[in-house]
Structure 1
Amino acid sequence: MAKKAKNFKKSKSGAYLSMATTAFGALSVVKQAKLAREDNDTLRLVDAAVSAAAIVTGLAILYRELKRLGDDDVLLG
C-alpha cells in the first residue's frame, strides 16, 4: 500500500492533485491577507505574503515535475 502511495505521488495524477490542493490553500492565504489589511496588521500581512510566495514556489515545482513526466502542454490549454 505504501509503495502505491509513493508511486502515486510521482505520477501525473498525483502531481495534478498536489497542484489542486496547493491552489486550494491559496484561498486561505487570500482570506488571511484581506483580514490583515482590514485590521492594519502588518505582521499578519507579511505572513500572508510569505505563505503566498511558498504557494507560488510549490506550484512551480509541481509544474516542473509534470514537465519532467512528459506532459509539456499542461496549463497551456
Structure 2
Amino acid sequence: MSTVAKAKGFKHTKPGLWLSVGTTAFGAVSIVKDIRRANGEHDTLRLINALAGAAALITGTAMLLRELKQLGDDDVLLG
C-alpha cells in the first residue's frame, strides 16, 4: 500500500477521527473570538456569520463523533 493510500485511510481510523475532533475544537476558539468581536462592534452581519460557522462546527463534530461510535460498534474487542 502506498503512503498516499495509507494517509487517506488514516481519516477513517479512531486516531484520525480524534485528530479531526481536536482540530475542530481549535476552530471553536476562532468562532468565539468572532462572536466577541461582533458583539463589541455591534456588527449584526459578523455575528450571523459567526453563528453560522458555529452551527457548521457543531454539525461537523456531531458527525465525527457518530463515526467514532460506529467504529466502536464494529470493533469486536470493545463489545
Give structure 2 stretches of 5+ with no counterpart: 74-79
Q: In the alignment, what sits opposite 1:16?
A: 18
Moved over 2 A (4+): none
TM-score, normalisation: structure 1: 0.89
Number of residue pairs the alignment of both structures matches: 71
Higher alpha-carbon Rg: 2
TM-fit CA distance, 1:57: 0.2
Give structure 1 stretches of 5+ with no counterpart: 72-77
TM-score, normalisation: structure 2: 0.87
Higher share of residues assigned helix? 2
Q: CA RMSD in A?
A: 0.9
Instruction: Give the aligned residue type for 1:24.
Output: F
Report percent identity of matched pairs: 55
